[in-house]
Amino acid sequence: MRHFIFIGMLLWACARGALAAQGVTYGGPVGGTDIQSAYLPPHPGLYGSVIAVGALGEKFYDNDGRSPTTSVRLPGGIAEFGLLYVYPGQLFGGTLGSSVATGYGWGSIKVNGKHQSFKGMNDIYTDVLMWSRHLGEVEGGRPRGLTMKLGYSMVLPTGKYNTSDLYTTGRNTLYYIPNGAFTYLTGPNFLGDGTEFSMSYFLDIARKNSATGYRNGMVLDVDMAVSEVVGRWQLGVAGYYARQIADDRLNGQRVPGNRFASAAVGPVVAYNIPDCKCSVKFKAQFSVFTRNSLAPNAAYLFFNKAFN
């Protein structure tokens, strides 16, 4: 969903006095994955995207799901830019692609009366290699049936980072992210041109933060969406569930009781514009479950364009 980084993420400092500017990265690209998550464009060439994000975190939940007396408020925004290249030819009947994205984040944070503004470049997210294969039939220009995708992605620590700040737009941590996705599109029905079911999964494996000696535990993230295709429109519901499955470590020692979890759900609406080889999409995500983190609420606006 990712939603790879949510601007308001994971302030361990809010509850445990651990390390300021130390957070968790989870999931895939900024904005996350939702509809059509297993698809790559059918034609080789270059594709671009622009994403605008507005986010707000106002309540922190501890390991037991309680909201302590810590006062936190974190509004912010992201402008993200990405490129996708789809390679010519196929491998084992599937399409290959690679992508890279980065952006600029800004906002402010207030913790127990202490206020600080922040702005700066985000870390780079890259899908080093993706492989997507459609296993069904193409009917009316739509890939009916099952499509699957496998990928290997990374987060490169190129964003702004400072250990003395309450929040920074970079994490100063290298991440390895094996991932996959499934999308299934039914035939036409009484609602429209077909119902789509999509699911993506990501395993986020962090290296140690060289500035702090802190290493985040592995996080498993699952993004899901159910939607209906109606002509050029696609409308549905999208959400995610992310949970840390291994303890953090500080200078090699386990940090127990600090595992992160988060879930959110909300509407997603997309519109395809064939005349300009582009599409627009809006998505909102509202927090429904949080542990050891700020509860994230965010809205995303996507614009995608083919340059081939």
Residue 3 clears pLDDT 60, i.e. is over it: no
Average per-residue pLDDT in the chain? 90
Nearest Cα neighbor of 131 from 147, 150, 110, 154 is 150
Give 252's DSSP letter. Answer: T
Q: What would the mean pLDDT of 51-66 be, rounded to a whole number?
A: 89
Nearest Cα neighbor of 249 from 292, 221, 212 is 212
Q: What is the CA radius of gyration of the chain?
A: 19
**pLDDT band, very low/low/confident/very high, at 23 (cuts 50, 70, 90):** low
Residue 25 clears pLDDT 80, i.e. is over it: no
Q: What would the mean pLDDT of 11-29 be, rounded to a whole number?
A: 50
Q: Please, which residues have CB within 8 angstroms of residue 29's CB and are 6 or more apart in sequence? A: 2, 3, 4, 80, 82, 99, 101, 125, 127
Measured CA to CA, the distance from residue 304 to residue 101 in angstroms comes to 13
Residue 31 clears pLDDT 70, i.e. is over it: yes
Question: Domain segments of the chain: what residues?
Answer: 12-306
- φ and ψ at residue 31, rounded to 5 degrees: 95, -15
Q: What is the pLDDT of residues 128-181, one digit of tens each?
A: 999 999 999 998 889 999 999 999 999 999 999 998 888 899 999 999 999 999
Q: How many CB atoms lie within 10 A of CB 179?
A: 22
DSSP states along 271-295:
EEEGGGTEEEEEEEEEEEEEESEEE
Of residues 66 and 137, which shows the higher confidence score? 137
| pTM across the whole model | 0.91
Q: Which CATH architecture fits 12-306?
A: Beta Barrel (2.40)
Residue 118 clears pLDDT 70, i.e. is over it: yes
Burial class, 85, CB count within 10 angstroms (exposed 0-12 / middle 13-18 / buried 19+) = middle
Instruction: Report residue 122 as tokens.
Output: 């985000």
- Residue 180: the pLDDT is 98
Q: Helix, strand or coil for residue 16?
A: helix
Residue 75 clears pLDDT 70, i.e. is over it: yes
Q: What is the dihedral of CA 98, 101, 53, 258, to 10 degrees?
A: 90
Q: How many CB atoms lie within 10 A of CB 297?
A: 19
Please name the helix (run of DSSP H) or strand (run of DSSP E) that holds residue 13, with its range, or none. Answer: helix 12-16
- Residue 13: the pLDDT is 39
Q: Please, which residues have CB within 8 angstroms of residue 252's CB and are 6 or more apart in sequence? A: none
- Residue 63: the pLDDT is 86
